[in-house]
Amino acid sequence: MSGESHRGHRAEPAGTWERARRLRADARRNLERILDAAREVFAELGPYAPLDEVVRRAGVGAGTLYRRFPDRQSLLRAVAMDTWARLIDEADRALAEEVNAFDALSRYMHRAVDLRVGAVMPSLMGAMPMDGEMQSAASRSAEAAQQLLTAAWEEGSLRRDVTFGDIGLLLIRMSRPMPSPFPRELDNALAHRHLELCIEGLRAINANRPLAGPTMTLEDLRSLPSDASRTSPEIEHPHRQQQ
């Protein structure tokens, strides 16, 4: 996973996660290996994947995993909290360090693909209840991403008809693993190539015709029914609007 480049900049979630700052260096490295491996495994195999596979990819002993995460739910929660914290950090640093807002948004989207956020987070959210700390972290992460979009809109570089939902759903599509026989390294490289193709379509200079289908804001996404099988007849075939 190319997320290796982010380990030196991992942001720590608030609340109970502050104790992680006091871990010894080797314990911190083991924790990071476990969380990165778990994110990969859950992205590829789902939230009920064998934890032995997490142990294998992390390169730690089973005892190391179970001492820190005695059950599956605690590991799922840790992966979610860690991912939100890293997304917040990535958004803040991109906005502060890039010369323009569109480049900051592009950088953030590539980092989100590295984290496999679009593959792992939807499955995790369906496998555990959301407590107050998790809801707060999710909201802060969404707000950080929204700041990138707002800055790019105000800069005039991002299409005005591109919404938070477009970015979030695009990342979900780009983060899901390809079926075999694609190895992980090739899969990740192709995801970034295809993401770059999509990013070029986000530029305001390319907005020469309206987008097909409905717009989806952050509020629209939050209001979707939990039963994903229900489909609104108005948006079942959005491409027909162009015909």
Domain map of the chain by residue range?
A: 72-206
**pLDDT one-digit tens code per residue, 188-197:** 888 899 899 8
pLDDT (average), residues 157-184: 86
What is the per-residue pLDDT for 118?
A: 84
Cα separation, 170 vs 119, in Å, equals 11
Percent of the chain with pLDDT over 70: 82
pLDDT-derived band at 11 (thresholds 50, 70, 90) equals low
C-alpha 51/C-alpha 71 separation (Å) is 10
> Looking at residue 162, what is its pLDDT?
92
10 pLDDT above the threshold of 50: yes
This prediction's pTM: 0.76
User: What pLDDT score does 231 carry?
Assistant: 44
Residue-level pLDDT at 187: 81
pLDDT higher than 50, residue 4: no
- Give the tokens for residue 180: 């075999």
Confidence of residue 222 (pLDDT cuts 50, 70, 90): confident
Confidence of residue 144 (pLDDT cuts 50, 70, 90): very high
Per-residue pLDDT, averaged over 45-70, amounts to 95
| Highest mean pLDDT of the ranges 48-57, 111-120, 185-194, 197-206 | 48-57
pLDDT value of position 15 = 52
Place 40 in a pLDDT band, splitting at 50, 70 and 90: very high
pLDDT value for 69: 96
DSSP secondary structure of 149-191: HHHHHHHT-B-TT--HHHHHHHHHHHHSPPPTT--HHHHHHHH
**Per-residue confidence band for 230, with pLDDT thresholds at 50, 70 and 90:** very low
- Residue 54: strand, helix, or coil: helix
Query: By CB neighbour count within 10 A (0-12 exposed, 13-18 middle, 19+ buried), where does 87 fall?
Result: buried
- For the chain, the average pLDDT equals 83
Is pLDDT above 90 for 42?
A: yes
pLDDT tier at 22 (50, 70, 90 boundaries)? low
Superfamily of structural domain 72-206: Tetracycline Repressor, domain 2 (1.10.357.10)
Q: Is the pLDDT of residue 123 over 90?
A: no
The answer to whether the beta carbons of residues 18 and 12 sit under 8 Å apart is yes
- Report the pLDDT averaged over residues 169-179: 84
